[in-house]
């Protein structure tokens, strides 16, 4: 991986954790969801083209979710060699030790250096040790189907990630205004009192901010 790709992976482990948490409680352990999500993140970093003017998070989330969904589709049918499974366990231990020592998660390159393997092997190992899952299950003697989220769920998560990035890029006052109005449920009059503005100023500023958000979300 290039230095830029390695940086993309390092800075976006949070996306993997967010995606993995959304699938918890559906029959597969969080660690396995996280491993597959990391593989999707690495693939996204390798295929990302910044010249297309697409946010990396918007590009990466479908890839991360795609690898996670593959766990449910495959049901552990893909056999993984013992060496790859062992490497996956070493990666988990190395990540924990590194974070305890340096207070941050290691990059793919750092993991590869610590374990004396190629970065590609790290990505491959992240897909190891998957449990078996049947898409049909028995409940009280009756057959049922395992709930696998639909594409609409994926689209919603992508939109949420993009919205979070747009809001984070606003000026402090604008970001506070959006938080007070749409997360804390305040009226424009209440927001005006908090920010030392008039209700008319808040109304005008809010319209401009929402227009900007819509334009950047396209």
- Measured CA distances, 42 to 17, 33, 59, 72 (Å): 14, 14, 12, 20
Domain ranges of the chain: 3-133+147-152, 171-217
Residue environment code for 49-85, b if the CB has 16+ CB neighbours within 10 A, otherwise e: eeeeeebbbebbbbbbbbbbbbbbeebeeeeeeeeee
pLDDT by position in tens, the chain (length 218): 688 888 888 888 888 888 888 777 777 888 888 888 899 999 999 888 888 777 788 788 888 888 888 887 776 434 455 676 678 778 888 888 888 888 888 777 788 888 888 776 776 675 554 443 333 344 444 444 444 444 444 556 666 666 776 787 789 999 999 989 888 888 999 999 999 999 999 999 999 998 888 776 65
Look at the pTM and tell me if it is higher than 0.75. Answer: no
């Amino acid at each position: 991986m290039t230095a830029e790709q390695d940086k993309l992976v390092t800075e976006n482990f949070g996306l993997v954790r967010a995606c993995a948490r959304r699938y918890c409680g559906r029959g597969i352990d969080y660690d396995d969801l996280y491993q597959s999500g990391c593989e999707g993140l690495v693939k996204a970093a390798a295929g990302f083209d910044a010249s297309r003017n697409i946010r990396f998070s918007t590009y990466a989330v479908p890839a991360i979710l795609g690898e996670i969904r593959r766990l449910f589709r495959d049901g552990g049918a893909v056999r993984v060699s013992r060496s790859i499974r062992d490497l996956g366990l070493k990666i988990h231990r190395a990540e924990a030790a590194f974070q305890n020592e340096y207070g941050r998660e290691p990059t793919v390159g750092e993991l590869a250096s610590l374990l004396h393997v190629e970065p590609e092997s790290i990505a491959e190992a992240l897909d190891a040790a998957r449990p078996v899952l049947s898409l049909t299950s028995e409940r009280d003697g009756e057959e049922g189907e395992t709930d696998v989220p639909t594409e609409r769920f994926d689209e919603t998560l992508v939109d949420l990630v993009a919205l979070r990035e747009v809001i984070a890029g606003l000026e402090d006052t604008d970001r506070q205004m959006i938080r007070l109005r749409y997360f804390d449920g305040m009226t424009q009059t209440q927001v005006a009192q908090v920010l030392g503005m008039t209700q008319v100023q808040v109304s005008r500023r809010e319209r401009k901010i929402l227009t900007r958000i819509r334009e950047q979300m396209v």
